[in-house]
Amino acid sequence: MDVTSVLGIFIGVAALAWGVLGGGEWRLYWDWSSLLLTLGGTIAATLISHPKEQIRRVPLLLRVAFSERRETPEAVIPRMVHFAEKARREGLLAMEEEAETLEDPFLRKGIQLAVDGVDPDIVRNVLETEIDFLAERHAAGRAVFQTAGSFAPAFGMIGTLVGLIRMLAYLSDPNQIGSGLAVALITTFYGAILANLLFLPVAGKLQVKSAQELLVKALIVEGILAIQAGDNPRIVEEKLRAFLSRETQGRGREGMLAEGARSSDAA
């Protein structure tokens, strides 16, 4: 579970509840017709805007947004260094058996291409093409939530117009004026909440997750090409650490030094 996503939603809901309950009766902020108009209109417009293949992926995308990333650059670098050491000691063919047990199909494919002796330019082209299509799929999935985030305030404004029309149609009846004004304001309220506490934050988190995954893929490509070129494992590590921030590089070095110290003590 992604702690920051859960924490953000909790703080947002808590702040909203504090504002609502601190200002009076909570029932003043609840209206079924307003909610149906705003949420239903947003869902309808989103369904119209995207093909069913993208809509079907919404549950999966929500799971991705609220789950921890599976693989990090810090975890991939030692693995690539391990393969570089293995290839340097035993040759590229020695990586094949171990590569078949890898769970990551992208890394497995890259190592297999290197083992098969495919030209480095072709290896790069094949893997980077896969990365490009992956980025397009991520953008298409993210666009569903961005679309919903743009439509929610719009349908909130439509609800406001509905409420104003109702209010103006019954100026002689104070009760109708009050209910019409309530609908006018609550729909805008619902639209703003749905857009800014749900749809747009999820789209933003998916964009961050996509960038992290694409970074890992780019790091794997460079690592495989460096191994194929016969680079020293130390050089492979330095090349890959260039992808990381200085702070992350420092943490990674400390972790590797600690691991080395533990290995020395064990020996």
Query: Domain residue spans in the chain?
Result: 31-72+122-266
Tens of pLDDT along 233-266?
898 888 888 888 654 555 444 544 444 444 334 4
Who has greater pLDDT, 2 or 260?
2
Q: Kindly state the average pLDDT of the residues 215-238.
A: 90
Contact 195, 161 (CB under 8 A): no
Residue 3: the pLDDT is: 83
DSSP 8-state code for residue 197: I
User: Rounded mean pLDDT of the chain?
Assistant: 83
Task: Give pLDDT, residue 33.
Answer: 82
Whether the model clears a pTM of 0.85, i.e. scores above it, the answer is no
| pLDDT band at residue 178 using 50, 70 and 90 as cut-offs | low
CA distances from 259 to 36, 233, 238, 244, 264 (A): 57, 17, 17, 20, 9
- pLDDT tens per residue across span 135-145: 999 999 999 99
Output the DSSP codes for 203-267.
HHHHHHHHHHHHHHHHHHHHHHHHHHTT--HHHHHHHHHTTS-HHHHHHHHHHHHHHHHHHHHH-
7, amino acid identity: L
What's the pLDDT tens digit per position in 8-63? 888 988 888 887 777 666 677 788 888 898 999 999 999 999 999 999 999 999 88
Beta strands in the chain (DSSP E): none
What residue type is 262 in one-letter code?
R
Q: Which contacts (CB < 8 Å, 24+ apart) does range 49-54 have?
A: 49/147, 50/143, 50/144, 50/147, 54/140, 54/141, 54/143, 54/144
